[in-house]
């Protein structure tokens, strides 16, 4: 089963280390514009959100690709094959989350490949705002809500 990237904006300190290491891993160049993860900072709210490909089960990018350059591999990751890609950019339009990009400078399509399972964005994130986990380990929101309810009941009891 493919591992999954999970983002916790509460922990993000807006340092953009993920952008740096992602661009370097794939291009040997520190260049946030070539990164497959992008960090959005909302100054007034003091909240920062990293965002990247979620490897959708129903992947629009792969569905629309006319040459089969985007395919799911054995680990469940949608891989981009530059040799098959004709850079038509249909995938960029098709992705509902904007997580597949075209670089005008390099004239190439780029997207997250989980670094072959290493996910450098998660590996180098200093605060754990990005983590790579088994889907089974993704924090269950129901569980979190139950935890809160339990705490509230305890408080009332006390």
Partner 1 sequence: MTQANGWIGTILRINLTEGSIKKEPLNMQDAHDYVGARGLGTKYYCNEVDPKVDPLSPENKLIFMTGPLTGTAACSAGRYEVVSKAPLTGIIGAANSGGHFGPELKYAGYDGIIFEGKANHPVYLHINDDQVELLDANELWGQGVHETTEALEAKHGKVRVSCIGTPGERCMLFAAIMNDKNRAAGRGGMGAVMGSKNLKAIAVRGTGGVTVARPEGFMNEVTKARTMLKEHPVTGNGLGTFGTEILVNIVNEVGGLPLRNGRDGSYWEQADDTSGERLNETHLVKNQGCFGCSIACGRVTKIEGKGNLDGFGEGPEYEAGWSYGAACGVNDISSIVKANFICNEQGMDPITLGSTVACAMELYEMGAIPEEDIGFPLRFGDAAAMVKLTQMCADGEGFGKTIGLGSYRLAEKYGHPELSMSVKKQEMPAYDGRAIQGIGLEYATSNRGGCHVRGYMISPEVLGIPVKLDPQVTEGKGAMLKTFQDLTALCDSTGMCLFTTFGIGLPEIAGQYREAVGSDETDEEILLKGERIWNLEKRFNMEAGVEKDTLPPRLLREALPSGPAKGKVNELQTMLADYYEARNWTADGIPTPEKLAELNVTY
Stretch that binds partner 1, among 44-52, 54-62, 66-74, 132-140 (CB under 8 A): 44-52
Stretch that binds partner 1, among 46-54, 75-83, 86-94, 108-116 (CB under 8 A): 46-54
We find the least distance from the C-beta atom of residue 29 to partner 1, in angstroms, to be 4
Q: Which of 1, 2, 29, 8 is nearest to 144 (CA)?
A: 8
Q: How many CA atoms lie within 13 A of 35 on its CB side?
A: 21
13 binds partner 1 (CB under 8 A): yes
Q: Which of 72, 73, 100 is nearest to 87 (CA)?
A: 100
131 binds partner 1 (CB under 8 A): no
For the CA atoms of 52, 66, 118, 97, the dihedral, rounded to the nearest 10 degrees, stands at 10
Stretch that binds partner 1, among 11-19, 54-62, 107-115, 131-139 (CB under 8 A): 11-19
> 6, 31, 49, 75: which one contacts partner 1 (CB under 8 A)?
31
Q: What span, in angstroms and rounded, lies between the C-alpha atoms of 6 and 126? A: 15
Going by the DSSP 8-state scheme, the letter that residue 109 receives in this structure is E
CB nearer to partner 1: give 30 or 135: 30
**Contact pattern for partner 1 over residues 100 through 119, marking x by CB under 8 A:** -----x--------------
């Amino acid at each position: 089963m493919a591992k999954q990237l999970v983002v916790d904006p509460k922990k993000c300190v807006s340092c953009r280390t993920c952008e740096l290491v992602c661009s370097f891993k794939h291009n040997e160049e520190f260049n946030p514009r070539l990164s497959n993860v992008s960090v959005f900072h909302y100054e007034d709210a003091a909240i920062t959100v990293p965002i990247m490909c979620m490897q959708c089960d129903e992947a629009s990018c792969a569905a629309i690709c006319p040459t089969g350059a985007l395919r799911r591999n054995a680990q469940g990751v949608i891989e981009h094959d530059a040799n098959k890609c004709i850079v038509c950019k249909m995938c960029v339009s098709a992705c509902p989350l904007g997580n597949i990009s075209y670089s005008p400078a390099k004239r190439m399509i780029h997207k997250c490949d989980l670094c072959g399972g290493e996910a450098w964005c998660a590996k180098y994130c200093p605060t754990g705002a990005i983590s790579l986990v088994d889907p089974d380990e993704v924090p269950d929101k129901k569980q979190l809500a139950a935890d809160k309810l339990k705490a509230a009941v305890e408080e009332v009891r006390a």
